[in-house]
Amino acid sequence: MSLSGHIGASAPGAEPPQGRRRLRIGILGSRGIPNRYGGFEQLAERLSAALAALGEEVIVYSPHHHPWREREWQGVKIVRCVDPYRLLGPASQFLYDLLCILDSRRRGFDLILQLGYTSSAPWYRLHPAHARVITHTDGVEWTRSKYRGLVKTYLRWAESSSVRHSHALIADALAIRDHLRLRYGQEAEYIAYGAEPDAPKSEGMPERFGLEPGAYFLAVGRFQSDNHQELMIRAWEEAGRPWPLVLVGNAGNRFGQGLQDRHAHPMLMFPGPVYDQGALRGLRAGCGLYLHGHSGGGTNPSLLEAMADGALIAAHDNVFNREVLQGRGFFFKTPEELAGQLTETVNTPYRGSWPEENRQHIVERYNWEGVIRTYHALFQRMLKL
């Protein structure tokens, strides 16, 4: 029986297979579920619900201000910890992670999945001694262009600390696995993210935004320098603004507000975050070209989702995006390169096979069924079950 069939046949809180006790698993380091933020939250959402359906007891930590107010979600228990973001800004994540880890000491976890190390690294020694700690390392954070000086030095230390104090490591890209092997002599488990090529899409989404299907450029992601939204805008301006450029995400931070102030134009759209997944899929499926500017981290969920939705893709040229796309897309590093790709897309309708080949690649390599099966097998192996 496939994992998806097993999940579908199991209700939340189902018993584990006969003869094996229920695992008690804590998922720390995300901004809570249901997902209202990014990749770690998507992973926490999908993995926790699937594990609960398989009969495991799963707790996901969420910040106190998360909009989901219930104590459970799809059979997953929710524990809230204080995250004083309004008071401390991004530094609040250090306190939030500390409070989550301290709470985990009294929960009797068999295993803790720690998502990321940036703000949890100082507290690794406080993880409960009896639990096996598995760290999802995310990207090679200290190499990202947005970090300098002492921040870069701290991130390099945080990475090494997470390696020293974890019982196992997860890398979501082969390049990250190779980095951990070469730098620390540590073998990480390679587990990427997943996407759903047959997930339902909301009808008429481009029109709801005043867009013509197939005649707009789209990018989805957090507004930060190494996601290259400014490069996209400059390329779009250089290409003569032939179609609307739609940048989905919360542009209310300093970086996003600066882009809106400097590049204001009726055809440059900042619709904010779109949490309705059917609506987001409809936007991706309807765009003429999807722009993926992420350059930090490993396998990025938003790229996988664009592939699953059959979008033609232009991606920032780096080892992670090339690993995922395997040459089935345009690649850019400069505004001039991207401007040429925008112009080509507008003037010459694409008739190749990249979109369909990318969808098939999702089915074969980046599917949630396989991702969840691999995580579950790793957890059982770590506990010698």
- pLDDT digits 0-9 by tens, 54-79: 999 999 999 999 999 999 999 999 99
CA dist 256 and 20 (Å) reads: 50
Inter-CA distances, 305 with 175, 211, 355, 356, 384, Å: 20, 21, 12, 13, 34
Do residues 64 and 92 make contact, with C-beta atoms less than 8 angstroms apart? no
CA dist 256 and 270 (Å) reads: 9
Q: Comparing C-alpha atoms, which of 78, 45, 47, 58 is closest to residue 16?
A: 58
pLDDT at 234: 98
pLDDT at 306: 97
- pLDDT digits 0-9 by tens, 11-66: 445 666 656 789 999 999 999 999 988 889 999 999 999 999 999 999 999 999 99
Checking if the pLDDT of 313 tops 50, the result is yes
Checking if the pLDDT of 5 tops 50, the result is no
Q: Comparing C-alpha atoms, which of 142, 139, 143, 107 is closest to residue 28?
A: 107
- pLDDT digits 0-9 by tens, 255-310: 999 999 999 999 999 999 998 999 999 999 999 999 999 997 789 999 999 999 99
Q: How many helices (H) and strands (E) does the chain have?
A: 15, 14
Determine which helix (DSSP H) or strand (DSSP E) holds 50, and give its type and residue range.
helix 39-53
Q: Which domains are seen in the chain, by residue range?
A: 3-194+367-382 (3.40.50.2000), 205-364 (3.40.50.2000)
Q: What value does the mean pLDDT take over residues 154-180?
A: 95
Q: How many Å from the N-terminal Cα to the C-terminal Cα in the chain? A: 20
CA dist 380 and 383 (Å) reads: 5
pTM: 0.90
What DSSP string describes 137-189? Answer: --S-GGG-TT--HHHHHHHHHHHHHHHHH-SEEEESSHHHHHHHHHHH----E
User: DSSP class of residue 31?
Assistant: S
User: DSSP class of residue 16?
Assistant: P
The phi and psi torsions of 244 (rounded to 5 degrees) equal -60, 145
β-sheet bridge partners, residue 171? 190
